[in-house]
Amino acid sequence: MSGISVRSWISSIADRGRELLDLPISTPQEPFTQLVAMCKDLVSQKGEARGTAVAREVVRLWENLPEKDHLRFFQMIQNDFSANRATVIKAAEAFAKDPSEPNLAVLTHASEPVRQELLRRINMAPNGTRAIVDMRETLVGLLKTNRDLEPLNADMQHLLTSWFNRGFLELRHIDWDTSAAVLEKLIRYEAVHEIQGWDDLRRRLATDRKCFAFFHPAIPDDPLIFVEVALVHGLADSVQALLAPEIDEKAPKTAKTAIFYSISNCQAGLKGISFGNFLIKQVVEELKREFPQLKEFATLSPIPGFMGWLRTRQKSKADDADLAGEVLEGLSNEDWINDPEKVEALRKPTVALCATYLATCKRGKSPLDPTARFHLGNGAQLERLNWLGDTSDKGLRQAGGMMVNYAYHLDYIEKNHEALMNDGKVATSKSVAQLAGI
């Protein structure tokens, strides 16, 4: 059953539920008060038709809720739909006396906040999943000044992680014939290398380029991730060259390398939600089927955390703290990029520090750099560093112009992934390992 037909079916259930409840199309009550009442009504519903109808009303009221009431709404959900403390204490005491599986099940059930069930029931509504993703996007924006809402954020993240795992995702090819609505979103969501309008987009979809998107059946018209690929000859070392307007018409038949040069997460409400590993492997397999001559699959990736790490390193007691300070000072000099002597003086120490950052610096067992964390977690190898790989203002600001190639060696993807997940071992080429001194 298609996503559209499923939504139509759910809408018909909600319509029948509206008839049963005799719910009004509009209400004279203050929106926030009505929303609170509907949320409480929703968790008390037993019948599916009535529950779906109430869920749709909750979604409608949320979508029309004034921005000034958003914080109050989240505070209400967290406080009014928490777990019953007395019930939790009673179950915990019973488990402490007799740590049996039945008592553990009772404790687990008692300790789950009611707000999780509320969110599951909101998800019953047509466009309920979309509404919850939008709710979390709003919540994430409020967390910076309202850290007390972290328990609610954790509950939403827990549920969304279950709903958006890789098994549910659908990979689609994006080309010039894709709907204008999706193409507009590609322009809007591009987070790595900004697309400068429709002409630039047409270049990104030319014959020597491929673009893919992952979708979820609950929100079938809104992409979750865009993946942009260039068909080239050998590892790319400059994004400016990769994005040049010239089209290689022969690339689909002659190119031996596929370069992933932009991967953009589209939904702010899914921040921190892992879609699982091996997403890129799925794209690699698709490319391999279409272009069997391809032998090499790699990225040309930004290093968004490098300059921030350099500043932290400078203040640390590490052996290379002074070197980090010197590099920072050099990269901060105005117009250094146009001075050949300064460029050459900065090259060796910057590359060496960048190798140390990517190959050895971690958060737990995972790489510290977010882009490294994604690709190495997907089974790639830290292959090569590229000095002045991105000389745009953003590239210079984020990483002093550095870029990196992560290589996807098909026979080692699973092995690399397991080594990182189990032992925190970063798969690294000999050249990068030597630069990092490991």
- Can you tell me which residue has the tokens 């996007």? 137
Q: Is the CB of residue 107 less than 8 Å from the CB of residue 95?
A: yes
Q: What is the 3-state secondary structure (H, E, C) of 265-276?
A: ECCHHHCCCCCC
CA-CA distances (angstroms) from residue 212 to 181, 215, 227?
15, 10, 5
Contact call for residues 90 and 50 (beta carbons, < 8 A): no
Q: Which of 193, 262, 301, 417 is catalytic?
A: 301
Please return the burial class of 57, using the count of CB atoms within 10 Å of its CB with bins 0-12, 13-18 and 19+. buried
Q: Judge whether 375 counts as a catalytic residue.
A: yes
Euclidean distance between CA atoms 438 and 433, whole angstroms:
5
Catalytic residue among 193, 216, 375, 417: 375
Nearest residue to 421 (alpha-carbon basis) of 429, 413, 433 = 413
Residues 6+ apart with CB under 8 A from 225: 213, 214, 263, 264, 265, 266, 275, 279
Is residue 228 within a helix (H) or strand (E), and if so which, with residue range? Answer: strand 225-232
Catalytic residue check, 193: no
Cβ–Cβ < 8 Å for 397, 307: yes
Which residues belong to the active site? 301, 375
